[in-house]
Amino acid sequence: MWTRITFILVTAILALTPDLARSDEIVILDSENQVRAQESITSRARVEFALSNEAGDPAQGFEVYLINLENQETLTQNAEGGRAVFEEVTPGHWQVSSSVDWVHFDSILIVSDQKKGLATWLERGAKARALLPPILILGAAAGPMVAIADSGGDSHPLSPSS
């Protein structure tokens, strides 16, 4: 019984929100081509790097690069307050690097645009919202995201200086 209800519920959600059914991936690689983060997205995402200097303080005053390995598109952001944030990153395999060799890439956060699809679906009316139990709405509204942190003890650092 519950299996059939779940199937009907999932089918209805996907029918009302075609963007949730379609997804691509963003894959972030370090300078040694090790995968450091990946996330399924529907079209674009925000990619945020936490950066520190050799003393462990937030790093700033240099550039961080994301290079799409399929088409060589290069995105550039200035590091400020220990962060470099890239908006509207498209699916693909992206390699991260910086203009300095002393920076440590401490963590990577990818925030998918899939939560935008949910917001659009929720705006379609109270009748559609009645299909989802409140707990599913609250859980999905948080949006998919992934955070990867370098523990400092592995043999594959996020960057050669990490």
Helix boundaries (H) for 55-102: none
pTM of the model: 0.60
| pLDDT higher at 104 or 146 | 104
The pLDDT > 90 percentage for the chain reads 52
Instruction: Locate the DSSP E strands across the chain.
Output: 24-29, 35-41, 45-52, 63-68, 74-78, 83-89, 92-98, 104-112, 145-149
Query: Do residues 37 and 28 touch, judged by C-beta distance below 8 A?
Result: yes
Whole-number average pLDDT of the chain: 74
Is residue 65 packed enough to be buried (19+ CB in 10 Å), middle (13-18) or exposed (0-12)?
A: middle
Encode pLDDT of 48-60 as tens digits.
999 999 999 999 9
Query: Do residues 47 and 110 touch, judged by C-beta distance below 8 A?
Result: yes
